[in-house]
Amino acid sequence: MASSQTSLLIFSFLLLFTSLFLLPLPSSATLDFCSPNAMYQLGDSISDTGNLIRESTSPAASAFAHLPYGISFFSQPTGRCSNGLLMIDYFALSLRLPLLNPYLEKDADFTHGVNFAVAGSTALDTSFLAENNIGSPVTNSSLFVQLDWLKSHLTSICSTEKALSLRLPLLNLYLAKDADFTHGVNFAVPGSTALDSSFLAENKISSPDVIELGAARVVVPGNFPIGCFPIYLTAFQTNDTTAYDGFKYLKDLNSFAMFHNDQLQQALQQLREKYPNVDIVYADYYNAFKWVFDNAPFLGFDMASLHKSCCGSGRQYNFDLRTMCGAPEATACPIPDTHINWDDIHLTEGI
């Protein structure tokens, strides 16, 4: 079961390099046709391998520093928002690279790249969010801050422009947009598209920044079908049956995610025209994730728990904002790989 789900993940990563929708690879497969010597990651909790727990002592951060986070692979918490490995970890393994160390880890080995992602970070600057009366994020390490970290790191290890170009063969610009959506955005009211437009504008600004630094390949993902996650299913729960699709997911939220993804792809196409010698790849998380949901019974997932978090504290979706995963009162399901959702908004290692 775990092997089939891991192979699906490797398959999803192929979307970062090719437009061909091929069959899943074996879990031991590696990406022989693409062998960069280093990889750099920017983003949020989807990719953070330990930065948030090193920069913050807030309750939100400390949850990720406690079991059962990390229980399935590392047998201890690492700051990853999952029970084990993240997508970026599988990506590194497929490229025969070591797992990326978090930038804020002291004396870490950054020979083959750095992970700058911070859980809870935003693509939009925190000052912009404050001006628009959007609640304070978990961290102030927005995309702008992460870009500064990247520039500082590269300056410290590269003495010439040629050396810099050799250090940036692959940069995963997993832009931290989910946190922008989560903090105070009501998807059903006017203004959502205005915020999304601001995010897309920052996307177009930030991508050239990393390209000018010498990135040869930039990977930018779309958003997940957010109407499938326990946190949103709980927050927007309604007795109106027309709000849900045939799988009992929230239609409006998924429609908004599709709108965002369409706009993002248009923005990326403009960047491709401006930088024809750079591989700017859109990673279609939405359809890859929907494929998993649509085929869940054939992949070994527990259909009775499809909408629920593995780690939580009860209620319909096993999610309670007052007692989240990592809290003493929260518990984890016995076999996480039978669940798609690890906690309220993060995936299990198996997916």
Active site residues: 45, 343, 346
The burial of 187, by beta-carbon neighbours within 10 Å (0-12 exposed, 13-18 middle, 19 or more buried), is given as buried
Residue 58 DSSP one-character state: S
Strands of the sheet with 217-221, listed across from one edge: 113-115, 39-42, 170-173, 217-221, 279-283
**How many whole angstroms separate alpha carbon 69 and alpha carbon 84?**
7
**How many whole angstroms separate alpha carbon 268 and alpha carbon 180?**
19
The answer to whether 67 and 77 have CB atoms below 8 angstroms apart is: yes
Can you read off the two tokens belonging to residue 73?
Answer: 């692979």
With the C-alpha atoms ordered 287, 225, 229, 304, is the resulting torsion angle positive or negative?
negative
Peptide bond into 68 cis (omega under 30): yes
